[in-house]
Amino acid sequence: MSRINLVALSLFAFLFLISSAEAEKEPLWEWESSNAVNHVAISGDSRNISATYASSVSLWYNDTTNPRNTKTVGSGISSMEMSFDGKYVLTGEEYDKTVTLWKEGSKVWETGDFLNVVNDVDISSNGTYIAVVDWKNVLFFNKATKEAVWSYNHANEITTTVSISPDGHFIAAGTEHGKVFVYSTIQCQNDHGKAARIAGKLDLNENELATLMGIDKKDRRITDIMEKSNDFRQEREVVTLDYPIIHEKEDEEPKRITHKADDKQKSLFEF
């Protein structure tokens, strides 16, 4: 390599390093707490930001360093989620066994009816539907009330994590023993009056889940499967029920009406 080429190459490398250093991003603003920050969230439009630290939750608009609202709860906050529009924030206190729903920084409700701990929480995009797992249970809430719409107990499992779909129609929960459970949030009843809510179990891919649930969004209806026995490879009765409607009035409770399918309509599914 000629001396001229070597000098040119060295100059190029130097300029590249300088430009890279100049291109490094710096934060728009920063804020400091005296306690560790364990959760942060930002809304879909980037306007709202929330953070939890120790037993406090703070809200910001993204153009200011000063929290516009800060609330303190009974004990340390262990989980937090924000709705997509930033209007609702959901916090969970693991050892105080409390879940609190906040709207624009004001408490909507709180509930402490959980077994031993609150391990995880999640909220749908519009803030209407809420999922919680405690030590043994998966619970589904509507923002209109602090009473659970339904719960499912896993006596032989320790539930550790939960996620709710953006539209609030499905919940996925994971356990300490390595299992994943998928639920339909629609509550339906079988012939014996027992709620049948588990939509799937373990490794269901998207196509299998769609086939299993028979979703038809155009007709706003959903097909659910009722267990005929404890054997997950048994034949199952298929029932059809109204697809949950997201009402324009945010405080209006959605109506769910169950319709039994034709007795001849049978289906065989394997989980």
Q: What is the pLDDT of residue 24?
A: 75
Q: What is the pLDDT of residue 230?
A: 38
Sign of CA dihedral 44, 50, 51, 52: negative
Non-local (6+) Cβ contacts of 216 within 8 A are 222, 223, 243
- CA–CA distance, 69 with 7 (Å, rounded to integer): 58
123, 121, 126, 66: which is closest to 93 by C-alpha?
121
What are the strands of the beta sheet with 48-53, ordered from one edge?
A: 37-42, 48-53, 56-61, 69-72
pLDDT band at 75 (very low <50, low <70, confident <90, very high): confident
What are the strands of the beta sheet with 159-164, ordered from one edge?
A: 159-164, 170-175, 180-184, 198-201
Q: What is the pLDDT of residue 163?
A: 97
Mean pLDDT across the stretch 250-258? 41
Q: What is the pLDDT of residue 25?
A: 79
**Between the ranges 1-10, 228-237, 251-260, where is the mean pLDDT highest?**
1-10
Q: Please check the confidence at residue 91 and state whether its pLDDT lies above 70.
A: yes
For 185-198, b/e burial (b = at least 16 CB within 10 A) is bbebebeeeeebbb
What confidence tens digit (pLDDT) does each residue in 198-227 have? Answer: 444 433 333 333 333 333 333 333 344 333
**Between the ranges 72-76, 77-81, 257-261, where is the mean pLDDT highest?**
77-81
Per the prediction, the chain carries an average pLDDT of 73
More confident site: 208 or 41: 41
Q: What is the pTM of this model?
A: 0.64
Q: What is the pLDDT of residue 57?
A: 97
Give the chain's end-to-end CA distance (angstroms, integer): 66
Sign of CA dihedral 11, 14, 20, 26: negative
CATH value of 36-185 in 2.60.120.260, 2.130.10.10, 2.102.10.10, 2.120.10.30 = 2.130.10.10
C-alpha of 23 from chain center? 36
- CA–CA distance, 89 with 108 (Å, rounded to integer): 10
- CA–CA distance, 19 with 4 (Å, rounded to integer): 23
